[in-house]
Amino acid sequence: MNQRTNTLQISGRLPVIAIVGRPNVGKSTLFNRLLGKRKAIVGDRPGVTVDRLETECLIGARDVVLVDTGGIGEGTHDVMQPAIDTQVEAALAIADVVLFVVDGQAGSTPVDAAIASKLRRHQIPVLLVVNKAEKPNSEVEFFGLGMGDPVAVSAAHGQGIRDFTDQLEMLIPEVVEVADEEQQQPIASIAVIGRPNVGKSTLINAWLGKERMVVSDISGTTRDAIDSDLVYGNGFIRLVDTAGQRKHGRISDIIEFVARVKAVQAFRRADSIVMVLDGSEGVVEQDMRLMQLAQDEGCALIVAVNKLDLLTEDDWKHYVERLDFRMRGFTDIPVYRITAKSSKGVKRLLDEAVKAAERNRFELGTGELNRWLQSAQEAQHPPSDNGAVVKLKYASQIATSPPTIKIFCNRPKGLKVSYRRYLEQSFRKTFNLTGVPVRFNFAGGKNPYAPEHKR
């Protein structure tokens, strides 16, 4: 399967609305208000939104893509600010309409004036939104920005939102026609997980061929789960970058807590998971917990050990021994070596992640499934239940992602854990489901698929 490094243009499907403004003016609150649910992480400190956050939503009767961005222009000593500015420029490059959000309580600032100048250079339709405008006439002083008539709202309380959306809807251009290829479902949905600062965003950037994610050596740079579509063969795959995961006890504020919850939600949308480990560090318990969480959520799992340029061969051998020991409770999880910074090994890793997603969507015909069940019982009979014979009668696949098999049994409660584990290992080995969390449900009673015999 051939991979191309260009991404699908999201603005080619639906009109794009980008929300911009200096930090802490309420952009993410407005984003959530328009979306109707808590999609963006909202906090009371500057810099909470770093990456662009994109989602489809309805404005009036119009479907659009809404883009939340990091705050522009403040914190000149903040080493993250240049990266945030780059992300805003990238959002503006695909925007059809810009919502310029200012703070009605703080009043107009020199930074607001600088942003207005930046927006005028882009020549994109702009709607000036004065947020936190609970007091009357909060918008008056913002006429001086030269961005047209400001619209006063309170995103937190919903005040003025209806008039605002009416004006916004009038600015939205017509939907651009797209090729059938872009209307397809993704070939695979792949989430990238790991502890903070192990190289997750660097890996996704290497796959995309550009700096879609903010990359920094500051722990916790990525806080939201961000989707990117990557053209792959005759279709595309969806990549999800997740916030770096800390131990529960170290989640010190609501921002990190919500980020962890959103990462779990990302797992539930993914077919396969790439667990990124830092080869220059040891394997810790939190790594194992993340792997278990991924499989508990039904994702196929592969492991990528990053930063191998920092390891000697002896270091690598010691690392592998330690990793094998820590992963002894998992079944057949493949491990790959990469250096994301130089793109070494990342192409093969992407191909393997797509294959893992395909394995997770495995479907099996009823006849072949029951032939396997009979063969597995012949190879190893189920242990008796207090002297009573345990018989597995019939199997049917009831779900994919992960493959879920329902087995009808005469004594389901008497089926020992060791034999259930044997069936899982046999199934995975027989059908080459490396890294896939196969699930079995055991039910009592008669085989509902057996033909009824008339008396």
- Binding positions are 21-28, 68-72, 131-134, 194-201, 241-245, 306-309
Q: At a CB cut-off of 8 Å and minimum separation 6, what does 246 contact?
A: 195, 196, 256, 260, 286
The C-alpha atoms of residue 103 and residue 107 are separated, in whole angstroms, by 6
The C-alpha atoms of residue 327 and residue 283 are separated, in whole angstroms, by 10
- Binding positions for GTP are 21-28, 68-72, 131-134, 194-201, 241-245, 306-309
The C-alpha atoms of residue 290 and residue 198 are separated, in whole angstroms, by 14
Closest CA to 90 of 212, 193, 4, 204: 212
Residue type at 155 in one-letter notation: A
Instruction: Give the neighbor-by-neighbor strand order of the sheet with 97-103.
Output: 53-59, 62-68, 16-20, 97-103, 126-131, 151-152
Please spell the DSSP secondary structure of 258-308, one letter per residue. Answer: HHHHHHHHHHHH-SEEEEEEETTS---HHHHHHHHHHHHTT-EEEEEEE-G
Whole-number CA gyration radius for the chain: 26
